Structure 1
Protein backbone atom coordinates (compact mmCIF):
# COMPACT_ATOMS: atom_id res chain seq x y z
CA UNK A 1 0.00 0.00 0.00
CA UNK A 2 1.40 3.40 -0.92
CA UNK A 3 1.69 6.25 1.57
CA UNK A 4 -1.28 8.17 0.22
CA UNK A 5 -3.54 5.15 0.70
CA UNK A 6 -2.19 4.68 4.21
CA UNK A 7 -2.92 8.33 5.02
CA UNK A 8 -6.45 8.01 3.61
CA UNK A 9 -7.09 5.07 5.94
CA UNK A 10 -5.65 7.00 8.89
CA UNK A 11 -7.84 10.03 8.11
CA UNK A 12 -10.96 7.83 8.12
CA UNK A 13 -9.94 6.23 11.41
CA UNK A 14 -9.36 9.63 13.00
CA UNK A 15 -12.68 10.94 11.66
CA UNK A 16 -14.52 7.99 13.22
CA UNK A 17 -13.06 8.90 16.62
CA UNK A 18 -13.04 12.71 16.65
CA UNK A 19 -15.74 13.96 14.27
CA UNK A 20 -18.17 14.80 17.12
CA UNK A 21 -15.62 16.22 19.56
CA UNK A 22 -16.63 19.61 21.05
CA UNK A 23 -13.48 20.33 23.06
CA UNK A 24 -11.40 21.79 20.21
CA UNK A 25 -9.75 18.39 19.60
CA UNK A 26 -11.98 17.53 16.66
CA UNK A 27 -11.23 16.07 13.24
CA UNK A 28 -10.46 19.53 11.85
CA UNK A 29 -7.86 20.12 14.56
CA UNK A 30 -6.17 16.90 13.48
CA UNK A 31 -6.38 17.97 9.83
CA UNK A 32 -4.79 21.37 10.50
CA UNK A 33 -2.01 19.78 12.55
CA UNK A 34 -1.39 17.16 9.82
CA UNK A 35 -1.29 19.83 7.09
CA UNK A 36 1.11 21.98 9.13
CA UNK A 37 3.31 18.99 9.96
CA UNK A 38 3.59 18.05 6.30
CA UNK A 39 4.50 21.62 5.35
CA UNK A 40 7.10 21.95 8.11
CA UNK A 41 8.53 18.50 7.32
CA UNK A 42 9.10 19.51 3.71
CA UNK A 43 10.83 22.73 4.79
CA UNK A 44 12.96 20.94 7.41
CA UNK A 45 13.89 17.91 5.23
CA UNK A 46 12.14 15.45 7.54
CA UNK A 47 10.10 12.36 6.64
CA UNK A 48 6.80 13.93 5.61
CA UNK A 49 4.83 10.66 5.74
CA UNK A 50 5.87 9.95 9.35
CA UNK A 51 5.16 13.56 10.33
CA UNK A 52 1.76 13.72 8.69
CA UNK A 53 0.65 10.31 9.98
CA UNK A 54 1.83 11.10 13.53
CA UNK A 55 0.06 14.46 13.40
CA UNK A 56 -3.22 12.80 12.42
CA UNK A 57 -3.10 10.45 15.41
CA UNK A 58 -1.29 12.61 17.99
CA UNK A 59 -4.30 12.99 20.32
CA UNK A 60 -5.25 9.32 20.38
CA UNK A 61 -4.57 8.11 23.90
CA UNK A 62 -4.52 11.61 25.42
CA UNK A 63 -5.71 11.36 29.02
CA UNK A 64 -7.92 14.44 28.58
CA UNK A 65 -9.87 12.65 25.84
CA UNK A 66 -9.63 8.90 26.48
CA UNK A 67 -10.69 7.01 29.61
CA UNK A 68 -8.38 4.09 28.79
CA UNK A 69 -5.21 5.49 27.24
CA UNK A 70 -3.38 2.18 26.80
CA UNK A 71 -6.35 0.56 25.08
CA UNK A 72 -6.63 3.50 22.66
CA UNK A 73 -2.92 3.21 21.75
CA UNK A 74 -3.16 -0.57 21.42
CA UNK A 75 -6.17 -0.27 19.11
CA UNK A 76 -4.35 2.38 17.07
CA UNK A 77 -1.25 0.23 16.71
CA UNK A 78 -3.34 -2.73 15.53
CA UNK A 79 -5.18 -0.48 13.08
CA UNK A 80 -1.96 0.89 11.57
CA UNK A 81 -0.44 -2.56 11.11
CA UNK A 82 -3.64 -3.92 9.55
CA UNK A 83 -3.69 -1.07 7.02
CA UNK A 84 -0.30 -1.53 5.42
CA UNK A 85 1.79 0.58 7.77
CA UNK A 86 4.99 -1.35 8.42
CA UNK A 87 6.24 -2.26 11.88
CA UNK A 88 9.08 0.28 11.55
CA UNK A 89 6.73 3.03 10.29
CA UNK A 90 4.28 2.29 13.11
CA UNK A 91 7.06 2.53 15.70
CA UNK A 92 8.27 5.85 14.25
CA UNK A 93 4.73 7.28 14.00
CA UNK A 94 3.89 6.38 17.60
CA UNK A 95 7.26 7.72 18.78
CA UNK A 96 6.73 11.04 16.97
CA UNK A 97 3.27 11.42 18.51
CA UNK A 98 4.27 10.34 22.02
CA UNK A 99 5.94 13.47 23.42
CA UNK A 100 3.78 16.19 21.89
CA UNK A 101 1.94 17.25 25.05
CA UNK A 102 2.63 20.69 26.56
CA UNK A 103 1.65 19.50 30.04
CA UNK A 104 4.32 16.80 30.10
CA UNK A 105 7.00 19.37 29.19
CA UNK A 106 8.82 16.92 26.93
CA UNK A 107 11.02 17.79 23.97
CA UNK A 108 10.62 14.97 21.45
CA UNK A 109 13.71 12.91 20.65
CA UNK A 110 13.21 12.79 16.89
CA UNK A 111 12.98 15.56 14.29
CA UNK A 112 9.60 14.17 13.26
CA UNK A 113 8.39 14.38 16.86
CA UNK A 114 9.60 17.98 17.14
CA UNK A 115 7.73 18.86 13.96
CA UNK A 116 4.48 17.29 15.15
CA UNK A 117 4.85 19.09 18.47
CA UNK A 118 5.36 22.39 16.62
CA UNK A 119 2.36 21.77 14.37
CA UNK A 120 0.14 20.99 17.37
CA UNK A 121 1.36 24.06 19.22
CA UNK A 122 0.74 26.28 16.21
CA UNK A 123 -2.90 25.18 16.24
CA UNK A 124 -3.14 26.29 19.88
CA UNK A 125 -2.28 29.92 19.07
CA UNK A 126 -3.62 32.60 16.75
CA UNK A 127 -7.28 32.97 15.78
CA UNK A 128 -8.02 29.25 15.72
CA UNK A 129 -6.20 28.76 19.00
CA UNK A 130 -8.39 31.42 20.61
CA UNK A 131 -11.54 29.68 19.34
CA UNK A 132 -10.29 26.31 20.58
CA UNK A 133 -9.49 27.75 24.01
CA UNK A 134 -13.06 28.88 24.52
CA UNK A 135 -14.49 25.67 23.06
CA UNK A 136 -12.44 23.59 25.49
CA UNK A 137 -13.20 25.90 28.42
CA UNK A 138 -16.92 25.79 27.71
CA UNK A 139 -16.89 22.01 27.46
CA UNK A 140 -15.26 21.85 30.92
CA UNK A 141 -17.52 24.46 32.54
CA UNK A 142 -14.78 27.10 32.81
CA UNK A 143 -15.55 30.78 33.23
CA UNK A 144 -14.51 33.10 30.40
CA UNK A 145 -12.72 35.35 32.90
CA UNK A 146 -12.95 36.27 36.55
CA UNK A 147 -9.99 37.97 38.17
CA UNK A 148 -10.90 36.34 41.48
CA UNK A 149 -11.11 32.84 39.93
CA UNK A 150 -8.24 32.93 37.45
CA UNK A 151 -7.45 29.23 37.64
CA UNK A 152 -10.89 28.32 36.37
CA UNK A 153 -11.01 30.68 33.40
CA UNK A 154 -10.28 30.43 29.71
CA UNK A 155 -8.47 33.78 29.64
CA UNK A 156 -6.00 32.58 32.29
CA UNK A 157 -5.09 29.73 29.91
CA UNK A 158 -3.47 32.34 27.63
CA UNK A 159 -1.04 33.26 30.40
CA UNK A 160 -0.48 29.72 31.64
CA UNK A 161 0.22 28.23 28.22
CA UNK A 162 -0.63 29.99 24.95
CA UNK A 163 1.60 33.04 25.31
CA UNK A 164 4.52 30.75 26.19
CA UNK A 165 4.32 28.61 23.05
CA UNK A 166 6.10 31.01 20.69
CA UNK A 167 9.29 30.53 22.71
CA UNK A 168 8.95 26.74 22.76
CA UNK A 169 8.93 26.01 19.02
CA UNK A 170 11.54 23.53 17.83
CA UNK A 171 11.97 24.46 14.15
CA UNK A 172 12.72 27.67 12.29
CA UNK A 173 9.66 27.13 10.09
CA UNK A 174 7.34 27.01 13.11
CA UNK A 175 9.02 29.98 14.81
CA UNK A 176 8.20 32.19 11.81
CA UNK A 177 4.52 31.18 11.83
CA UNK A 178 4.28 31.48 15.62
CA UNK A 179 5.47 35.11 15.62
CA UNK A 180 2.42 36.34 13.70
CA UNK A 181 -0.05 34.22 15.65
CA UNK A 182 1.44 35.37 18.95
CA UNK A 183 1.03 39.03 17.98
CA UNK A 184 -2.60 38.37 17.10
CA UNK A 185 -3.25 36.87 20.56
CA UNK A 186 -1.67 39.88 22.25
CA UNK A 187 -3.92 42.18 20.24
CA UNK A 188 -6.93 40.03 21.09
CA UNK A 189 -6.22 40.15 24.82
CA UNK A 190 -5.76 43.91 24.73
CA UNK A 191 -9.13 44.29 23.00
CA UNK A 192 -10.77 41.74 25.33
CA UNK A 193 -9.78 43.59 28.48
CA UNK A 194 -10.73 46.98 27.00
CA UNK A 195 -14.24 45.61 26.39
CA UNK A 196 -14.47 43.59 29.61
CA UNK A 197 -13.53 46.56 31.78
CA UNK A 198 -10.93 45.20 34.16
Structure 2
Protein backbone atom coordinates (compact mmCIF):
# COMPACT_ATOMS: atom_id res chain seq x y z
CA UNK A 1 0.00 0.00 0.00
CA UNK A 2 1.10 3.55 -0.67
CA UNK A 3 -0.30 6.25 1.58
CA UNK A 4 -0.83 9.77 0.26
CA UNK A 5 -0.95 11.01 3.85
CA UNK A 6 1.89 9.11 5.48
CA UNK A 7 2.89 11.95 7.82
CA UNK A 8 1.19 12.59 11.16
CA UNK A 9 -1.69 10.17 10.66
CA UNK A 10 -4.35 10.21 13.39
CA UNK A 11 -4.60 7.37 15.89
CA UNK A 12 -6.92 4.61 14.68
CA UNK A 13 -7.24 2.91 18.08
CA UNK A 14 -10.06 5.16 19.44
CA UNK A 15 -12.00 4.47 16.24
CA UNK A 16 -11.62 0.71 16.61
CA UNK A 17 -12.52 0.87 20.30
CA UNK A 18 -15.67 2.89 19.58
CA UNK A 19 -16.78 0.53 16.79
CA UNK A 20 -16.28 -2.43 19.10
CA UNK A 21 -18.29 -0.75 21.86
CA UNK A 22 -21.25 0.00 19.58
CA UNK A 23 -21.27 -3.14 17.43
CA UNK A 24 -20.15 -5.93 19.76
CA UNK A 25 -23.74 -6.73 20.75
CA UNK A 26 -25.27 -6.59 17.29
CA UNK A 27 -27.08 -9.77 16.23
CA UNK A 28 -28.16 -8.83 12.70
CA UNK A 29 -24.91 -9.58 10.84
CA UNK A 30 -23.57 -6.03 11.25
CA UNK A 31 -21.43 -6.66 14.32
CA UNK A 32 -17.82 -5.85 15.07
CA UNK A 33 -16.64 -8.98 13.24
CA UNK A 34 -18.25 -7.59 10.08
CA UNK A 35 -16.47 -4.22 10.20
CA UNK A 36 -13.19 -5.96 11.02
CA UNK A 37 -13.54 -7.95 7.81
CA UNK A 38 -14.48 -4.81 5.86
CA UNK A 39 -11.32 -3.13 7.14
CA UNK A 40 -9.21 -6.14 6.10
CA UNK A 41 -10.89 -6.38 2.70
CA UNK A 42 -10.31 -2.65 2.19
CA UNK A 43 -6.62 -3.20 2.85
CA UNK A 44 -6.58 -6.16 0.45
CA UNK A 45 -8.09 -3.98 -2.29
CA UNK A 46 -5.49 -1.26 -1.67
CA UNK A 47 -2.64 -3.76 -1.75
CA UNK A 48 -3.83 -5.83 -4.72
CA UNK A 49 -4.74 -2.83 -6.87
CA UNK A 50 -1.72 -0.81 -5.64
CA UNK A 51 -3.80 2.25 -4.76
CA UNK A 52 -2.64 5.46 -3.12
CA UNK A 53 -5.17 6.65 -0.54
CA UNK A 54 -5.67 8.28 2.85
CA UNK A 55 -5.37 5.09 4.88
CA UNK A 56 -6.93 6.60 8.01
CA UNK A 57 -10.05 7.65 6.07
CA UNK A 58 -10.40 4.18 4.55
CA UNK A 59 -9.93 2.31 7.81
CA UNK A 60 -12.11 4.67 9.83
CA UNK A 61 -14.95 4.50 7.31
CA UNK A 62 -14.65 0.71 7.29
CA UNK A 63 -14.87 0.45 11.07
CA UNK A 64 -17.53 3.14 11.57
CA UNK A 65 -19.89 2.69 8.63
CA UNK A 66 -22.51 0.70 10.58
CA UNK A 67 -22.28 2.72 13.80
CA UNK A 68 -24.71 5.34 12.41
CA UNK A 69 -26.96 2.91 10.52
CA UNK A 70 -30.62 2.79 11.55
CA UNK A 71 -30.42 -1.01 11.33
CA UNK A 72 -28.08 -0.90 14.31
CA UNK A 73 -28.65 2.26 16.37
CA UNK A 74 -31.89 3.75 17.67
CA UNK A 75 -30.86 7.43 17.50
CA UNK A 76 -28.95 8.19 14.31
CA UNK A 77 -28.36 11.87 15.16
CA UNK A 78 -26.81 11.01 18.51
CA UNK A 79 -24.71 8.31 16.87
CA UNK A 80 -23.39 10.80 14.31
CA UNK A 81 -22.35 13.21 17.07
CA UNK A 82 -20.58 10.41 18.93
CA UNK A 83 -18.71 9.40 15.77
CA UNK A 84 -17.71 13.03 15.18
CA UNK A 85 -16.39 13.25 18.76
CA UNK A 86 -14.56 9.95 18.37
CA UNK A 87 -12.77 11.16 15.24
CA UNK A 88 -11.79 14.42 16.96
CA UNK A 89 -10.33 12.36 19.81
CA UNK A 90 -8.39 10.31 17.28
CA UNK A 91 -6.81 13.50 15.94
CA UNK A 92 -8.52 13.55 12.55
CA UNK A 93 -8.62 16.80 10.60
CA UNK A 94 -11.93 18.44 9.69
CA UNK A 95 -11.29 17.45 6.08
CA UNK A 96 -10.80 13.80 7.06
CA UNK A 97 -13.90 13.80 9.26
CA UNK A 98 -16.04 15.28 6.49
CA UNK A 99 -14.64 12.72 4.06
CA UNK A 100 -15.43 9.82 6.40
CA UNK A 101 -19.01 11.01 6.88
CA UNK A 102 -19.40 11.49 3.13
CA UNK A 103 -18.44 7.86 2.63
CA UNK A 104 -20.60 6.30 5.32
CA UNK A 105 -23.64 8.40 4.43
CA UNK A 106 -23.56 7.13 0.83
CA UNK A 107 -22.35 3.57 1.35
CA UNK A 108 -25.54 1.54 1.56
CA UNK A 109 -27.02 -0.46 -1.29
CA UNK A 110 -30.53 0.78 -0.49
CA UNK A 111 -29.51 4.44 -0.83
CA UNK A 112 -27.90 3.73 -4.18
CA UNK A 113 -30.87 1.67 -5.35
CA UNK A 114 -33.62 4.03 -4.20
CA UNK A 115 -31.96 7.45 -4.05
CA UNK A 116 -29.17 7.23 -6.61
CA UNK A 117 -26.54 7.85 -3.93
CA UNK A 118 -22.97 7.38 -5.12
CA UNK A 119 -19.49 7.38 -3.62
CA UNK A 120 -17.14 9.28 -5.89
CA UNK A 121 -13.84 9.27 -3.98
CA UNK A 122 -11.38 6.41 -4.31
CA UNK A 123 -11.40 5.86 -0.55
CA UNK A 124 -15.18 5.56 -0.60
CA UNK A 125 -15.21 3.17 -3.52
CA UNK A 126 -12.72 0.93 -1.74
CA UNK A 127 -14.79 0.75 1.45
CA UNK A 128 -18.03 0.23 -0.45
CA UNK A 129 -16.53 -2.62 -2.48
CA UNK A 130 -15.16 -4.18 0.71
CA UNK A 131 -18.52 -3.87 2.48
CA UNK A 132 -20.26 -5.50 -0.45
CA UNK A 133 -17.73 -8.31 -0.66
CA UNK A 134 -18.61 -9.21 2.90
CA UNK A 135 -22.21 -9.65 1.76
CA UNK A 136 -21.11 -12.38 -0.67
CA UNK A 137 -19.64 -15.88 -0.49
CA UNK A 138 -19.92 -18.18 2.51
CA UNK A 139 -19.90 -15.25 4.92
CA UNK A 140 -22.60 -13.56 2.86
CA UNK A 141 -24.84 -16.63 3.02
CA UNK A 142 -24.47 -16.80 6.78
CA UNK A 143 -25.05 -13.06 7.26
CA UNK A 144 -28.13 -13.10 5.03
CA UNK A 145 -29.63 -15.96 7.01
CA UNK A 146 -28.66 -14.32 10.29
CA UNK A 147 -30.27 -10.99 9.34
CA UNK A 148 -33.38 -12.66 7.95
CA UNK A 149 -33.88 -14.71 11.08
CA UNK A 150 -33.44 -11.70 13.34
CA UNK A 151 -36.16 -9.86 11.36
CA UNK A 152 -38.48 -12.88 11.08
CA UNK A 153 -38.18 -13.14 7.30
CA UNK A 154 -39.31 -16.50 5.87
CA UNK A 155 -36.47 -18.69 4.70
CA UNK A 156 -38.05 -19.52 1.33
CA UNK A 157 -41.50 -19.18 -0.22
CA UNK A 158 -41.47 -20.70 -3.71
CA UNK A 159 -44.69 -18.89 -4.61
CA UNK A 160 -43.20 -15.46 -3.79
CA UNK A 161 -40.84 -14.19 -6.49
CA UNK A 162 -38.09 -11.63 -5.88
CA UNK A 163 -39.33 -8.06 -6.13
CA UNK A 164 -38.19 -4.58 -7.03
CA UNK A 165 -38.42 -2.13 -4.15
CA UNK A 166 -40.01 1.30 -4.50
CA UNK A 167 -38.97 2.80 -1.17
CA UNK A 168 -36.70 2.35 1.82
CA UNK A 169 -39.43 1.00 4.09
CA UNK A 170 -40.29 -1.79 1.65
CA UNK A 171 -36.61 -2.62 1.24
CA UNK A 172 -36.19 -2.92 5.01
CA UNK A 173 -39.17 -5.30 5.22
CA UNK A 174 -37.62 -7.58 2.61
CA UNK A 175 -39.33 -10.71 1.29
CA UNK A 176 -37.48 -13.96 2.04
CA UNK A 177 -33.91 -14.95 2.83
CA UNK A 178 -33.49 -16.71 -0.52
CA UNK A 179 -35.07 -13.85 -2.46
CA UNK A 180 -32.45 -11.51 -0.99
CA UNK A 181 -29.85 -13.29 -3.12
CA UNK A 182 -31.66 -12.04 -6.23
CA UNK A 183 -32.95 -8.72 -4.88
CA UNK A 184 -29.50 -7.52 -3.83
CA UNK A 185 -26.57 -9.90 -3.59
CA UNK A 186 -26.33 -11.08 -7.20
CA UNK A 187 -26.53 -7.45 -8.36
CA UNK A 188 -23.35 -6.47 -6.53
CA UNK A 189 -20.53 -7.67 -8.84
CA UNK A 190 -21.50 -5.30 -11.65
CA UNK A 191 -21.48 -2.41 -9.16
CA UNK A 192 -17.90 -2.96 -8.00
CA UNK A 193 -15.48 -0.12 -8.78
CA UNK A 194 -12.12 -1.77 -8.06
CA UNK A 195 -10.43 -4.55 -10.01
CA UNK A 196 -9.91 -6.74 -6.97
CA UNK A 197 -13.46 -6.11 -5.78
CA UNK A 198 -14.92 -7.13 -9.13
CA UNK A 199 -12.89 -10.34 -9.42
CA UNK A 200 -13.50 -11.40 -5.83
CA UNK A 201 -17.22 -10.64 -6.09
CA UNK A 202 -17.58 -12.90 -9.14
CA UNK A 203 -15.70 -15.70 -7.36
CA UNK A 204 -17.95 -15.44 -4.32
CA UNK A 205 -21.15 -15.28 -6.36
CA UNK A 206 -20.11 -18.44 -8.19
CA UNK A 207 -19.93 -20.21 -4.81
CA UNK A 208 -23.36 -18.87 -3.87
CA UNK A 209 -24.89 -20.12 -7.11
CA UNK A 210 -23.61 -23.62 -6.34
CA UNK A 211 -25.06 -23.33 -2.85
CA UNK A 212 -28.48 -22.41 -4.27
CA UNK A 213 -28.45 -25.45 -6.57
CA UNK A 214 -27.97 -27.68 -3.54
CA UNK A 215 -30.51 -25.71 -1.53
CA UNK A 216 -33.23 -26.08 -4.16
CA UNK A 217 -32.47 -29.78 -4.61
CA UNK A 218 -32.86 -30.38 -0.87
CA UNK A 219 -35.92 -28.15 -0.59
CA UNK A 220 -37.75 -29.92 -3.41
CA UNK A 221 -36.91 -33.40 -2.14
TM-score, normalised to structure 1, is: 0.93
Q: Figure out how many residues of one structure are paired with residues of the other and give that number.
A: 197
Aligned residue in 2 for 1:10 = 15
Q: Give the gaps of 5 or more residues in structure 2.
A: 1-6, 162-173
One of 152, 162, 168 as aligned partner of 2:175? 152
Q: 2:159, 2:201 → 1: CA distance?
A: 30
User: Equivalences for 1:101-120 in 2 at 5 Å?
Assistant: 101-105=108-112, 106-120=117-131
Preserved contact between residue 38 and residue 49 of structure 1 (Cα < 8 Å):
no
Aligned residue in 1 for 2:41 = 36
Equivalent residue of 1:148, what SS? coil
Dislocated runs of 4+, deviation >2 Å? 41-49, 148-152
Aligned residue in 2 for 1:49 = 56
Larger % of helix: which? 1
Instruction: Calculate the aligned-residue CA RMSD, in Å.
Output: 1.7
Quote how far apart the aligned CAs of 1:34 are.
Answer: 0.8
Q: 1:40, 1:34 → 2: CA distance?
A: 10
One of 24, 28, 33 as aligned partner of 1:23? 28
Preserved contact between residue 41 and residue 48 of structure 1 (Cα < 8 Å):
no
Residues 1:138 and 2:149 are matched in the alignment: yes
User: Equivalences for 1:154-173 in 2 at 5 Å?
Assistant: 154-173=177-196
Aligned residue in 1 for 2:78 = 71
Residues 1:58 and 2:69 are matched in the alignment: no
Quote how far apart the aligned CAs of 1:2 are.
Answer: 5.6
Aligned residue in 1 for 2:139 = 128
Q: Give the gaps of 5 or more residues in structure 1.
A: none
Residues 1:95 and 2:102 are matched in the alignment: yes
Residues 1:85 and 2:92 are matched in the alignment: yes
Aligned residue in 2 for 1:177 = 200
